[in-house]
Structure 1
Amino acid sequence: MQSPFIFDVNQQNFRQVLESSASTPILFYFWAPISQESAQMIPALQQLTQQYNGVFTLAMLNCQDEQEIAAQFGVQSLPTIALFINGQPVDGIGGPQPIEVVKEMLNRHLPSQDEMTLNQALELVQAQQHQQALPLLLSLPEELKSKGDVKLALADCFIESGQIEAAKAELEFIPLEYQDSYYKSLMAKLELHDQASNSPEIQALEAALSENPQDAKIAVELATQYHQVKRDEDALELLWRFLKSDLNTLDGEMKKTFMDILSAIGQGNSIASKYRRQLYSLLY
């Protein structure tokens, strides 16, 4: 497997590899082709290394070819796994083991995969890449999603994706110690949204549609206004009321507006997913 995080150890690079653990933890894997059990474990270890994405590197040593190095490590059984941090061995496993045992060992010394996912998501939020951050945050276990900093990040992503009610739900139960300037800025965004979402223009269009509930042109105009103030669920529901009976309403103009809104709010948005499924159910 070609990877910057996986390499073979030999006499030429052994010392350099060991010294590199001062900056990046190294998982040494001692194996040999004559040990079928040690060879069979390699794909699972490689996959695990890729999942950690550079948190550690996997250094594989073929004891059949590099007997002198194996002797220096005192390897007595195959496979043998040793985790080095700051140039020192901190943990190890001897003999064939399920990959879960290796994960448990790594979790004792390295950030868990959930913690790495969280850190990646928080970096994306910081970089204003909310659409990419949201699915990562939603994939976290409930224990992590209940933490104050995660709830704030979720609320931020929900606001940016127009899922206002979901954002309000997250901000409703923020612990006092997390009610900082970030929290206050998100609350201010919600307040501005509430003010904008009920503007005189929207009120006038709502009144006009109430008087003429079958007027598709007013519906499109109102849905567009809703979308502009991130009331995307209201916009899509309004348009769907017409489209579910006639996909060609206004010679396709309404369907185009519907699709434009779906496209604007992105693939990872739960509201978009709901209405996209409903549209596909009619198309296919």
Structure 2
Amino acid sequence: MSERPDSPCILSADSKNFDSRVLENSHQGPVLVNFCSSTATICSSLSPVLEKIIHVCQGRALLVNIDVEADETLARNYGVISVPTLKLFHRGEVVASRHGYQPEEAVRRLLDQYMARESDLALADAVDMYVRGEQQAAYTAIAEAVACDPDNPRLPLTLCKLLRHEQRYAEALKVLNSLPDYHAGHPEIRRLHDQLTFFVEYDPERDRASLEARLSGDPGALETRRQLVAHHVVSEDYAAALQQLALIIEQAPGFEGGYASLAMRRLFNLLGEQHPLVLEYRRYVR
């Protein structure tokens, strides 16, 4: 899979130039990496589809082809076990993976979540309004942008981050819960959603010391532990939150329909799969 000299948005890469062509460029816009093989028929079928999509993107995204037979190291490092495998890089990280042949519409929708759009300009203006203290005007501008471009996930994401800033957690969570599936699967939206599920349970009137004092007298007060988990997450003390969730699972795994296991998975998503705390507490979630 060689580079197309007539297309600056379609490149090839190997271990030597991967950082510059993929990781560095992904801070400017999405980079779709196609792990492929020149000997695989399915790869030959997918390549023109990808090239067509990138051409339509008009410089807002890159396609980088990596021949797994020529560079096994990159394939191994990124867990590629079959071709074609697509990995989308954004801001230096893999934000999505797809395996096998992909329909054109599916790839377009995936890239659309990360490419700059006209509505992003309206979003930037709205954020400026918010910073100037024009909160209501900012919210109105974002709502109008959503109406014009409902496929841009950065619009509801930013809206909900502003609501979170104002501690309007329930409103923000309601917005996220109303999003279509193709937005709900966006990594940043998923993380914000998972964070807000703890924030809505946070009660500032019940301070941490009083919750801990009650638990010292009644270790089986599971609802109190749940409140303490929320306090820990809001203060970003994730180790303490996971410890409380582990205690709930040990005492009553079925509490509130398996609350602790679900909450633990949400914290795993916030922290990232390779975080030391995730590796430590993974055994509690099957």
TM-score (norm 1): 0.39
Q: Which has the larger radius of gyration?
A: 1
